Structure 1
Amino acid sequence: MRLPVTGDGRFWALAFLGLGLPACLALAWIGLTGETPSALAVCGRLAGIAAFLGLGLAALALATRGRAALFALLCFPASLAAASGPDGPVLALAALAAALLSPRPMTGRHGSARRAGAALAIALVVLARPACAPLVGMLLVPFPPPGRRVRAWRERLPLAALALLPALLPALPPALLPAASPGLPPPGAAGGGLVSLPVPLPGFLTGVWAAALLVPPVALRRGPLPPPAERLWLSGCALLGLWLAVLPQALAPAGGLGGMQARDLLPLAPMLILAFARGRIGTAAALRWPALLPVLAAAPDAVVLPMIALRA
């Protein structure tokens, strides 16, 4: 069954706003229970949620391929849990950069503007998280044809260098970032690891999310993949980012990866989405029903999490 609306950016943007907003607010409320937060802390969390939702909406509206995967990434429970802290805008900026670089081919003034916007988004991510510097690799795709390589590299390499400059600066001080993600356990504490939720989700939601993340890549096999060289390049950049994120944890005095959390790795996922997102066939915006699985997975979160917040 083909669904004409699921290839439209407005559909994904409205679904993200309608399902992501109640879940983000519920998780922020859960994080405030048992506390007496100041008005400044509450405003900081609301500002983080607004930035996450605004950047996520822009990413879904501007993407030309991979919208279902970007939606799933932004509505992933760990992403929503980080939305009101400094990690939420970082993830949304990485998703926006991938969305801006999704057209194939990318030519003309719009192509230059998209690449410049992506460079700015990546620079902000690298400023907040220097370990995300491999995101710069997205600026070099799609690879130019042989006859245009010199001109293309002359335009892209300076942008990549500018996006990398923040990696030479200290990370943003805590005073310039939104309040910490609500309810997240400190590194190494019980309930840490790769789970970044202040409350455990019911088991059936875990199964729904597993289907939402695993089924669409297998079922939605229409349209061409990027060339193998680009897939290998972006996958290598993602592996380099993973190594840069894991290395400080492994070299810490305590050793091990007990402080690693899902929100530390999520900003690298847009590179893999850009590497494996298929292009459209013709001009039709329709997709088959598996594209809706991320929406079906996010819908229970928007109901269950507010119920948990009301109980708390």
Structure 2
Amino acid sequence: MKLPVTGDGRFWALAFLGLGLPACLALAWIGLTGETPSTSALAAGGRLADIAAFLSLGLAALALATRGRAALFALLCFPASLAAASGPDGPVLALAALAAALLSPRPMTGRHGSARRAGAALAIALVVLARPACAPLVGMLLVPFPPPGRRVRAWRERLPLAAFALLPALLPAFLPALLPALLPAASPGLPPPGAAGDGFVSLPVPLPGFLYGIWAAALLVPPVALRRGPLPPPAERLWLSGCALLGLWLAVLAQALAPAGGLGGMQARDLLLLAPMLILAFARGRIGTAAALRWPALLPVLAAALDAVVLPMIALRA
């Protein structure tokens, strides 16, 4: 079975694998410097499994996307994303990117359209299971908005998928009541759900100053310079932007209601996990069958290439 990789999909997938892998391994190695010898082997195995899942899901996202590949590549290769790749939240971020990639075709019709929506619903459900505050990602399943003559059939297909993807958000409310029945012989020291701590870590080392400038250009220049192709309709952009704002509000609310209280625990994940909605909202459709790459789209590749060189050097010093 051949992956539906068209146009520049192979370029972005190979660039992600070739540049993301050494950076992920370097950050994972730096993170292991604080481990004791008795736990370093087990920790290394877990980190490698998380990195493999992150890279595999990221490759699938870049291969299956039909628009917004440069933005998805920048999201996945962003330093905070690479730092998360060696923890449990790395695959969660890659799943959110995969959901946006599956929903990127315009229009989305036929058998492949239904399969893409079902795959995106499963990916979003897994993200919501890990991060209930990311429930607004379900809004991606409702775009592109159907034309007037097909709305009844479209909503009949999409609303059950949206309900399925939202279902894991209800588990935290029912799981504490179900645990005594499911685990009657559990140890008294068993922590309650959600008390295991946060796996989405910040960067273990500060990056050189010039990398921050290059990444700022890589994130800001392409959307301004690459204006070929049509944007999604205004209603869809407004809808997805509103869903992103709702997700940010839920993240802030979750931090404010946390036992520690306050907003000091806000981390990069609270923004990164919502970014796929904005990518889907503002990614332009391509003109023609295989539009050639233009230099602004290569800025994220340059930034990721510098990370792939600098981070292993920092790891060797560590």
TM-score (norm 1): 0.89
Residue 86 of structure 1: how far off its partner (Å):
1.1
Distance 1:111-1:247 versus aligned 2 partners, 3 A rule: same
Asked if the contact 1:6–1:12 (Cα under 8 Å) also holds between the matched residues in 2, the reply is no
RMSD, aligned α-carbons: 6.1
Distance 1:98-1:4 versus aligned 2 partners, 3 A rule: closer
Distance 1:6-1:156 versus aligned 2 partners, 3 A rule: closer
Asked if the contact 2:32–2:43 (Cα under 8 Å) also holds between the matched residues in 1, the reply is no
Q: Deviations over 1:261-308 (max 9, x none)?
A: 102321110000000000011223313210000001111100100000
Residue 188 of structure 1: how far off its partner (Å):
18
Q: In terms of mean alpha carbon deviation, does 154-163 or 286-295 score higher?
A: 286-295
Distance 1:163-1:248 versus aligned 2 partners, 3 A rule: same
Distance 1:14-1:60 versus aligned 2 partners, 3 A rule: same
Asked if the contact 1:184–1:198 (Cα under 8 Å) also holds between the matched residues in 2, the reply is no
Q: In terms of mean alpha carbon deviation, does 5-14 or 108-117 score higher?
A: 5-14
Structure 1 counterpart of 2:148: 146
Asked if the contact 2:133–2:250 (Cα under 8 Å) also holds between the matched residues in 1, the reply is yes
Asked if the contact 1:44–1:178 (Cα under 8 Å) also holds between the matched residues in 2, the reply is no
Structure 1 counterpart of 2:207: 201
Q: In terms of mean alpha carbon deviation, does 33-42 or 238-247 score higher?
A: 33-42
Unaligned stretches of 5+ residues in structure 2:
none
TM-score (norm 2): 0.88
Counterpart CA distance in 2 for 1:184 and 1:199 is 33
Residue 171 of structure 1: how far off its partner (Å):
13
Asked if the contact 1:19–1:298 (Cα under 8 Å) also holds between the matched residues in 2, the reply is yes
Identity among equivalent positions (%) equals 96
| Secondary structure of 2:7's aligned partner | coil
Q: In terms of mean alpha carbon deviation, does 227-236 or 161-170 score higher?
A: 161-170
Q: In terms of mean alpha carbon deviation, does 46-55 or 161-170 score higher?
A: 161-170
| Secondary structure of 2:273's aligned partner | helix
Distance 1:195-1:167 versus aligned 2 partners, 3 A rule: closer
Distance 1:160-1:21 versus aligned 2 partners, 3 A rule: same
Structure 1 counterpart of 2:311: 305
> Does 1:7 pair with 2:7?
yes
Asked if the contact 1:6–1:291 (Cα under 8 Å) also holds between the matched residues in 2, the reply is no
Distance 1:163-1:232 versus aligned 2 partners, 3 A rule: same
Structure 2 counterpart of 1:188: 194
Counterpart CA distance in 1 for 2:22 and 2:62 is 18
Counterpart CA distance in 1 for 2:144 and 2:112 is 15
Asked if the contact 2:248–2:270 (Cα under 8 Å) also holds between the matched residues in 1, the reply is no
Asked if the contact 1:182–1:198 (Cα under 8 Å) also holds between the matched residues in 2, the reply is no
Residue 182 of structure 1: how far off its partner (Å):
29
Residue 196 of structure 1: how far off its partner (Å):
1.6
Q: Deviations over 1:180-223 (max 9, x none)?
A: 99999999999999992100000000000000000000000110
Of structures 1 and 2, the one with the larger relative CO (CA 8 A, separation 6+) is 1
Counterpart CA distance in 1 for 2:72 and 2:41 is 33
Q: In terms of mean alpha carbon deviation, does 257-266 or 184-193 score higher?
A: 184-193
Distance 1:194-1:80 versus aligned 2 partners, 3 A rule: closer
Counterpart CA distance in 2 for 1:121 and 1:193 is 19
Total equivalences in the alignment = 312
Asked if the contact 2:88–2:199 (Cα under 8 Å) also holds between the matched residues in 1, the reply is no
Counterpart CA distance in 2 for 1:179 and 1:276 is 51
Counterpart CA distance in 2 for 1:54 and 1:204 is 29
Asked if the contact 1:212–1:297 (Cα under 8 Å) also holds between the matched residues in 2, the reply is yes
Distance 1:113-1:183 versus aligned 2 partners, 3 A rule: farther
| Secondary structure of 1:2's aligned partner | coil
Distance 1:186-1:293 versus aligned 2 partners, 3 A rule: farther
Distance 1:204-1:159 versus aligned 2 partners, 3 A rule: same
